Amino acid sequence: MSNHTFSEEPRVPGEEGPSEEVSTSAKEVRWSREKIVREIQLLASQGIPLSSTFVQKNHTKLHSASQRYFSSWGDAVNHAGFDYDGIKGVRWTKETVIKEIIGMSRQNADLSSSAVQKDNTPLFQAACRIFGSWKEAVASSGIEYSKHRKQREWTEESVICALRVLLRAGEPVSAGIVSKKYGSLYQATRRLFKGIPWDEIISTIRTPMANRAKRDLK
């Protein structure tokens, strides 16, 4: 991929705190700030509630580790890119996703895929997981998605940024899944990085993210 430059993602705020990894069980589960953030993003992508009570009961080790590496569970959730006050206690189902979409529609909120992915990531991820795509979720809410869809002009930089968002959120990024859930992103990637294998594109984007995380932990 010598013809394309993948710049590193910006530093995540709040990097102070323990830098060493800690072994927390006989199974050698090793926690770090980076791992905690990844686990939180994975839970969110699966539509699992991020309330402190639920996680403490069902994901005890993750919750305990967050207390050591962050000031609180809510602080850890915020560092994972979510507004803890806005999402605590939410469990995503077909009904709650539809209710949220209808509520946004009544408030004349922007229901385009790009806007919701940026402004309400948990809802967007839950909708894609449950309905297969954001478009299908909107349609299932009785709303004509074509009226809200925005045509986006993709550049190499915006493609890389969008793929990083999916990677940080723990979303599957195989060619098949991205082409199904994020058609325009997939097509733009293929067009802008023509001739480069999909796995190589993803690997090249992952590398600076991993290197940055390692440096931040030193």
Q: So what's the pLDDT on residue 150?
A: 57
Q: So what's the pLDDT on residue 214?
A: 44
Q: What is the DSSP letter of 119?
A: H
The residue type at 200: E
Task: Quote the distance between the C-alpha of residue 128 and its chain's center.
Answer: 12
The residue type at 157: E
Q: So what's the pLDDT on residue 7?
A: 45
Please tell me whether the overall predicted TM-score, pTM, comes out greater than 0.75 for this model. Answer: no
CA nearest to 209, candidates 156, 159, 164: 164
Q: So what's the pLDDT on residue 4?
A: 55
CA nearest to 16, candidates 78, 89, 54, 70: 70
Q: So what's the pLDDT on residue 27?
A: 54
Q: H or E element: which one contains 30? A: strand 30-31
Angle between helices 33-45 and 60-69 (to 10 degrees): 140
Cβ(31)–Cβ(21) under 8 Å?
yes
C-alpha distances out from residue 83 to 76, 115, 214, Å: 10, 16, 25
Q: What is the rounded average pLDDT for all residues in the chain? A: 77
Q: So what's the pLDDT on residue 188?
A: 86
Q: So what's the pLDDT on residue 113?
A: 80
pLDDT tens by residue, 54-74: 888 899 999 999 989 988 888
Task: Quote the distance between the C-alpha of residue 64 and its chain's center.
Answer: 22
- Point out which residues pair with 30 in neighbouring strands: 23
Angle between helices 156-168 and 198-216 (to 10 degrees): 60
Beta-carbon contacts of residue 26 (< 8 Å; ≥ 6 apart) = none
Share of the chain above pLDDT 70, in %: 77
Cα torsion angle, 198, 201, 205, 206, sign: positive
Which residues of the chain fall below pLDDT 70? 1-28, 85-90, 148-153, 208-218
Token pair recorded at residue 97: 């996703």
Classify 212 as helix, strand or coil.
Answer: helix
- Point out which residues pair with 23 in neighbouring strands: 30
Cβ(31)–Cβ(22) under 8 Å?
yes
Token pair recorded at residue 176: 């098949």
Cβ(177)–Cβ(138) under 8 Å?
no
Cβ(43)–Cβ(16) under 8 Å?
no
- Report, in angstroms and rounded to the nearest whole number, the Rg of the chain calculated over CA atoms: 18
